[in-house]
Chains A and B, each alone.
Chain A
Amino acid sequence: MKNLLSKELRLCLTPQVITFICLSALIAIPSWPALTSFIYTFLAIVVIFPVAIANRDIEFTSLLPVRKVDIVKGKVLLACFIELCSILVSIPFALLKFFIINPALGEAIQFTDLGINLVLYGIVLAMCGFFNLLFIPMYYKNPFKMAKSQFISTFVIIILTMVMTAIFMIDDASAFVNSFSGLALIIQFVSLGAGIALFVLFNFLAFHFGAKKIKSIDL
């Protein structure tokens, strides 16, 4: 597993992908819906695949002493790595927004959506897992073409981001998740735990279904 991830990082992590990872810093922009800053994370994942096709990555990997399903495992690991890096990059900027930018702007800020809290990161992790589950099996149905899987999964994740942002614009929901006291704090930790669990589960399923697809095709 270590050598698979190392191979992916050495060969597939392009400067474009690193730029997209860094764009999760957009979370610091005042009054900007926090979830939208992670759209670039999904784009980072989507762009590694056409680059891999152009570089004949599947042909290269398939000649290494690995199982056919390890081709999928490598890409799931890379997708998880990109998503976790995006989250890590966003954290200092989220803290900057929470502790410095928002208090400095005071009344000028309208807290009407999902703010900086653990529920946000729980949802982001679940969405990352969901994106991988949607995109990876669809892509490995025919790993030499990707327009359909790229378009559908990006479209679905944008709609999901819109819906999730809209849900937390409902006054009561927004007030509840942005609170750090009593039951709300417990809910925050539970949400983060659930997000982590869903991230793991969805990625396991993404690998499982992707592996099933690649087993049935001839390379």
Chain B
Amino acid sequence: MPQTILEVCNLNKNYANFSLKDVSFSLKEGTIYGFIGRNGAGKTTTLKCIYNLVKSDSGEIFYLDEDIQKNEIKAKNEIGLLFGGVDYYPNQKAKTIAKVTSTFYETWDEELYLRLLKFFDLDQEKKIKEFSNGMKVKFGLALALSHGAKVLLLDEPTSGLDPVSRDEVLDYFLKIAQLKKTTILFSTHVISDLDKCADEIIYIKEGQIYQNSSVSNFKSEYLHIEGAAELLDKIDKNMINRLFVHQGKFSGLILKNNQSFFPNFTFKEPTLEELMLNIERGNENEESPF
């Protein structure tokens, strides 16, 4: 049974237009968590509360069973946090930023850092402003990974990366989770990334944890259905969520329990993106502003 490494208990934070309400979840060693939800659902605020950048109104956070507030520096030494890419000190060389960063970590591994630079194909003699957005993300990852963090909290780590780089990064996540038992919690809007590597999904909706389960459990309730559009007249369309008709074909989601109502159709496991859209939009047809 993997050890619980980080535990968030009943976290609350109130803003004028938004609240985090009783957010609770725990992260286990060597597990990759996808932290998903719409923009403004509370993902970044939760990550900032964990790292004590935002003061929560109530709630507790434990790192290895110890209150993170009381062991802030020790915990931060073992937790890597990254918001997008490195976008600080644009006129400084990447080498300088890394040098400064390294002095704060007792466990900084210079050899690993140099290997990561090579892996990500980054030149540390370049200034930050000379990096593309994708390179800034890669450099941020190199910094976050070089101090041997036991937990990585990553906010949109793959946004801005091209598909090949994204695949490389996701492979790397899988490797460090398996080989080094690193726990990774990452938020992303590229939901297909989670299909590739996440073990668990923590779904946050309007400041509350909507679902916290393994990917397989998350997907267990629904099936992806598709077929010829002309067949739609012969079935109960109300049983299909997110119905989409295009080029003579239809697709959508049905509850697994209703599978028997749709004989002779093709079924597939739904993607996380489909499920997210189903949670957020269901069958609603929002009025277009145009």
Residues of chain A at the chain B interface (Cβ within 8 Å): 3, 6-7, 10-11, 55-57, 59-60, 62-68, 215-216, 218-219
Q: Taking the complex as formed, is B77 at the interface, i.e. its CB lies under 8 A from any CB of chain A?
A: yes
**How far apart sit A218 and B55, CA to CA, in the bound complex (Å)?**
6
Most B Cβ at <10 Å: residue of A6, A63, A65, A218? A65
Please give me the residue from chain B that is nearest to A6 by CB atom: B103
Cβ of B101: which chain A residues have Cβ within 8 Å of it?
Answer: 64
- Looking at the assembled complex, report how far the CB atom of A162 sits from the nearest CB atom of chain B, in whole angstroms: 37
Chain B, interface residues (CB within 8 Å), range: 20 to 34
CB distance from B102 to the nearest CB of A (A): 9
Q: Are A7 and B48 in contact (CB under 8 A)?
A: no
Contacts of B120 in A (CB 8 A): none
What residues of chain A lie closer than 8 Å to B76, measured between beta carbons? Answer: 64-66
**Which residues of B75-97 have CB atoms within 8 Å of chain A's CB atoms?**
76-77, 81-83, 87-92, 96-97
Chain B residues near A63 (CB-CB < 8 A): 51, 81-83
Minimum Cβ distance to chain B for residue A143 (Å)? 13
A60 to B72, CA, bound (A): 17
* Chain B 9-24 interface mask (CB, 8 Å, partner A; 1/0): 0000000000000000
Whether B104 lies near A66 (C-beta < 8 A) is yes
14 A-B pairs within 8 Å (CB atoms) are namely A3-B103, A6-B103, A10-B96, A55-B90, A55-B91, A62-B53, A64-B101, A64-B104, A65-B73, A66-B73, A66-B76, A67-B52, A215-B55, A218-B48
B103, A7: Cβ atoms under 8 Å? yes
Whether B54 sits at the interface, judged by CB under 8 Å, is: yes
Q: Tell me which of A55, A215, A216, A218 contacts B89 (CB under 8 A).
A: A55
CB atoms of B88 and A57 under 8 A apart: yes
Q: What distance in Å separates the Cβ of B235 from its nearest Cβ neighbour in chain A?
A: 51
**B53:A10 contact, CB within 8 angstroms:** no
User: B48 contacts A11, CB within 8 Å?
Assistant: no
B82 touching A60, Cβ below 8 Å: no
The docked-state distance in angstroms from the alpha carbon of A17 to that of B104 is: 25
Query: B19-72: which have CB < 8 Å to A?
Result: 48, 51-55, 72
Return chain B residues, CB-CB under 8 Å to A56.
Answer: 87-89
Return chain B residues, CB-CB under 8 Å to A62.
Answer: 51, 53
CB distance from A55 to the nearest CB of B (A): 5
B48→A219 contact, CB < 8 A: yes
- In the complex, the answer to whether A65 meets B99 with C-beta atoms within 8 Å is no
CA distance A59 to B81 in the complex (A): 11
Closest to A217 in B: B55
Give Cα A191 to B72, complex, Å.
Answer: 41
Bound-state Cα–Cα, A6 to B72, Å = 21
Q: Does B105 contact A (CB under 8 A)?
A: yes
User: Are A60 and B77 in touch, CB under 8 angstroms?
Assistant: no
Minimum Cβ distance to chain B for residue A71 (Å): 10
Query: In the assembled complex, which residues on chain B have CB atoms less than 8 Å from the CB atom of A67?
Result: 52, 72-73
Q: Which of B238-275 contact A (CB under 8 A)?
A: none
A10 x B99 contact (CB < 8 A): yes
B1 interface residue per 8 A CB criterion:
no
- Contact A218 B105, beta carbon cutoff 8 Å: no
Contact B104 A60 (CB under 8 A): no
Contact with A along B95-114 (1 / 0, CB 8 A): 01101110111000000000
A3 B89 Cβ-Cβ under 8 A: no
For B82, list chain A residues within 8 Å (CB): 63
Which residues of A are found within 8 Å of B53, using beta-carbon distances?
62, 68, 218-219
Residues of B within 8 A of A55 (CB): 88-91
User: Cβ of A219 and Cβ of B89 under 8 Å apart?
Assistant: no
Which residue on A lies nearest to B74, using beta carbons? A65
- Docked Cα-Cα span, A57 to B97, in Å, equals 11
Query: How far, in Å, is A98 (CB) from chain B's closest CB?
Result: 41
Closest to B102 in A: A3
Are B88 and A60 in touch, CB under 8 angstroms? yes
Distance in Å: Cβ of B87 to nearest Cβ of chain A: 6
Pick the residue among B55, B99, B100 that contacts A216 (CB under 8 A).
B55
Known: A67-B73, A218-B53. Is A59-B88 also a contact (CB below 8 A)?
A: yes
A47 to chain B, nearest CB (A): 16
- Nearest Cβ on chain B to A99's Cβ, whole angstroms: 42
Given contacts A55-B91, A64-B104, 11 further A-B contacts (CB under 8 A): A3-B104, A11-B92, A57-B89, A59-B83, A59-B87, A60-B89, A62-B51, A66-B76, A67-B72, A218-B48, A219-B54
What are the residues of chain B within 8 A of A215 when measuring CB–CB?
A: 55
How far in angstroms is the closest Cβ of chain B from A70? 9
Residue B77 contacts which of A7, A11, A65, A68 (CB distance < 8 angstroms)? Answer: A65
